[in-house]
Amino acid sequence: MPTYEYQCEECKNKFSVVLSISEHDKGNVACPKCKKKGLKQLVTPFIAQTSRKS
Ligand SMILES: [Zn+2]
């Protein structure tokens, strides 16, 4: 599954989460520190490598 990186707009905490595509589409990610949902997604250049196993 791809890893997404986020930065919280509230407390500037940066963190990464592993989400399925559908979970990511729902946008249900909250900051683990302050539980806010105002998150900015950061670019992760290494997404493709982990999910290629066919
Ligand atoms: Zn936060």
User: How far, in Å, is the centroid of ligand 1 from the Cα of 17?
Assistant: 14
Number of domains observed in the structure of the chain? 1
- Structural domain span for residue 8: 3-50
pLDDT of 41 = 92
Look up residue 28 and give its two tokens. Answer: 């249900």
Q: How far is ligand 1, taken at its centre, from the CA of residue 34, in Å?
A: 4
Single-letter amino acid code for the residue at 27: G
Q: How far is the CA of 1 from the centre of ligand 1 (A)?
A: 24
**51: which residues sit within 8 A by CB, 6+ positions away?**
1, 2
Q: Which two tokens stand for residue 41?
A: 């997604």
Q: What is the pLDDT of residues 19-48, one digit of tens each?
A: 998 988 898 899 999 999 989 999 766 555
Closest by CA to 36, choosing from 14, 19, 11, is 11
Contact 37, 30 (CB under 8 A): yes
- pTM of the model as a whole: 0.70
Give 33 Cα–ligand 1 centroid separation in angstroms: 5
The model's pLDDT over 3-13, given as tens digits with 9 standing for 90+, comes to: 899 999 999 99
- Please give the pLDDT value at position 54: 63
Grouping H, G, I as helix, E, B as strand and the rest as coil, residue 16 is strand
